[in-house]
Amino acid sequence: MPKLRPHILSLSIIILTALLSFWNINQIFFQQDEWLGLGGAIYRQETFGTLGSITQIFNFQTQNESIRFLPVTSLLNFFVYNKFGLNIKAYSILALVLIISCAIALNITVQKLTNSYLLSTLVSTLWITNNLAYQAFTWIGTLVPTLISTLSFILGLYFLLLYNEKRKTLYIILSFLSVLISLLSKEYSYFYIFPYIAIIMFFFRDRMAIQSKLRLILLFLIPLLISVFLPRAIYLLHGQTNFAPSMNSVGTADIIYNIFLLPAKSLFHIFFSSSLINQYVYSISRIIFQNYTDGFIISRIVGDAFSLLIAFYILLFIALVLAMSNKENKALIIFSLFSFFTSFAPFVVFMHVGPNLEPRFYILPAIFSSLLTVSIIRSLFNRFRVFSKVLVVFTFIPLLLFNIHGVRQMLTIDIRVGKHRREMLNTVSEVKPYLAKDNIFYFFTAHTGFWEFQSGFGQTLAVWLYDSGKVPKEALIDRDFWDLSYEGLKQYSTGKYGYFMTYNKLRQALKENPDVSFDHVHAYYWDYQKYTVKNVSEEIREKLKKDASNEKISQ
């Protein structure tokens, strides 16, 4: 029982930190990709059934992006979307379970690496509360495959360390399979090879011959080769030769630039709020360089330069800590820093428009930044042992509270936005009993267009109202309606479906489709200042009839 006490305490702290940070995650709402994912899952289930849908997922003759082979993601999303549907609470519970599972896996892995429950607990809690990785924890459209990939990546490390301790082939097999699942869930897990090599080379027992280590490293290259070359071979067998990547690739100069800049500026933003820093940098750069060129370009240049400068001082500080560290701490710091920098390897070959990567991509780098932070604190504890309690109070606890505060702030924003969107859709739901075979939705505001959702509202409405039985299933997967700016009326197998944001385009569509009654137009006015939506269908129908009548008279 005494041996279990630190383990139970560690797990309790991790669970408490997760609950404290994300306790009201059940109040978030769908954002972007999940609307298309939901639509696709419903469409496949209704069209092909469960077995047929799985067959469609692996139908390589219909796939366009042969560079991406993520069957685990496709299967997970299909089953989760079909099981949970529009039930936000179910997604939030699953998110919490996966976050805590990943943190516990990280805890036992770091404990195995450092033989310290204290260090493993600190690393896990820092990772849970990392502000840059927040999106990966809360965005419904990506959290399931992202967290499953992360969990598999961490478990692969754990089994590798178990193999080092027990020398049982089973653990190598489990590590191998974990890596493969991670790679088949998210393509940016490709970097796994670097921390795995580092662990084999520097943390495995000294008595293991270098030849044995190299053979082990070669073994762990196999999952990478499978995930990279297997899909290409399959697509070639099906006559496809288009291997274009799904992101914009860059030239050699940009790759070199990204190799140095991406990790450096990310090292800075791991410790400081990126949104706040970017806001200040943009404001300052616009004041100083207001007569030169586009503000975004200037702020990007100034921001990158500022990030590199601060990153230089961070690296200088790390070098000083290394100089005063013992052998064990040095190994941890170097391993953490090396793994952090190499974790950006999958992104160096692509063009990046913003100052940073999308936040969800920081979920794996955040593991090693957390380990790096805790390793540095540990070295300082060992160097200034007299002041260890003071260091605990004035380093880790404030940092953890700062991170939790950041997570709570971002969650509050997402909840507020989600509340407005949910209320809007709930208002629209009142129209379900009045829907017909043909339906047109018209949403407008005091300004041009309707942009309150991150994806096309026409497709969102199709998913939200599909259970009425009056929305054609083809609209669920129509990428035109998923486009933010698309307006149009389309004929499907069971009727017509349309979405508009401008009155003139709505009138023109009705003119071209005289069989669609004005009574099938459902209009809503969104007051973006008061965050309220009002059903104005009767007024718009009368206006349409009046304009149509006037047009006939004028002819």
Mean pLDDT within 436-463: 86
Residue whose token pair is 């690393």: 123
Lowest mean pLDDT among 77-91, 253-267, 287-301, 355-369: 287-301
Taking residue 239's Cβ as centre, other Cβ atoms within 10 Å add up to 8
- pLDDT class of 227 with cuts at 50, 70, 90: confident
Closest residue by Cα to residue 494 from 514, 468, 519: 468
What residues pair up with 491 in beta bridges, in sequence order? 496
Q: How far is CA 388 from CA 318, 373, 376, 393, in A?
A: 19, 15, 13, 9
CA distance 371 to 369: 5
| Gyration radius (Cα) of the chain, Å | 27
Q: How far apart are CA 298 and CA 292, in angstroms?
A: 8
Nearest to 420 by CA among 451, 397, 398: 451
How many residues does the structure list for the chain?
A: 555
pLDDT value, residue 98: 95
pLDDT digits (tens, 9 = 90+) for 121-164: 999 999 999 887 888 898 888 888 899 999 999 999 999 999 98
- Which amino acid is it at 100? I
Q: Residues near 18 by Cβ (< 8 Å), separated by ≥ 6? A: 96, 99, 100, 103, 128
Q: Indicate the domain borders of the chain.
A: 1-240, 252-383, 430-554
To the nearest 5 percent, what fractions of the chain are helix, strand and coil? Answer: 70, 5, 25
Lowest mean pLDDT among 202-206, 241-245, 397-401, 488-492: 241-245
Helix, coil or strand: residue 440: strand
Contacts of 303 by beta carbon, 8 Å cutoff, 6+ apart: 265, 277, 278, 281, 282, 285, 355
The pLDDT tens digits of the residues spanning 398-420 come to 888 888 988 898 899 899 888 88
Query: Cα separation of 391 and 393, whole Å?
Result: 5
Q: Which two tokens stand for residue 103?
A: 């943190």
User: Is residue 500 pLDDT above 80, yes or no?
Assistant: yes
User: What is d(CA 547, CA 540) in angstroms, rounded to the nearest whole number?
Assistant: 10
What does the pLDDT average to over 379-386?
75
Question: Which is more confidently placed, 302 or 208?
Answer: 208
Contact partners, residue 298, CB within 8 Å, separation at least 6 = 285, 286, 289, 292
CA terminus-to-terminus distance, the chain: 92
Higher pLDDT, 299 or 516: 516
Query: Could you tell me which residue, 484 or 259, shows the higher pLDDT?
Result: 484
Confidence of residue 167 (pLDDT cuts 50, 70, 90): confident
Predicted confidence band of residue 378 (pLDDT cuts 50, 70, 90): confident
Q: List the one residue out of 214, 219, 231, 143 whose CA is nearest residue 177.
A: 219
Contact 308, 300 (CB under 8 A): no
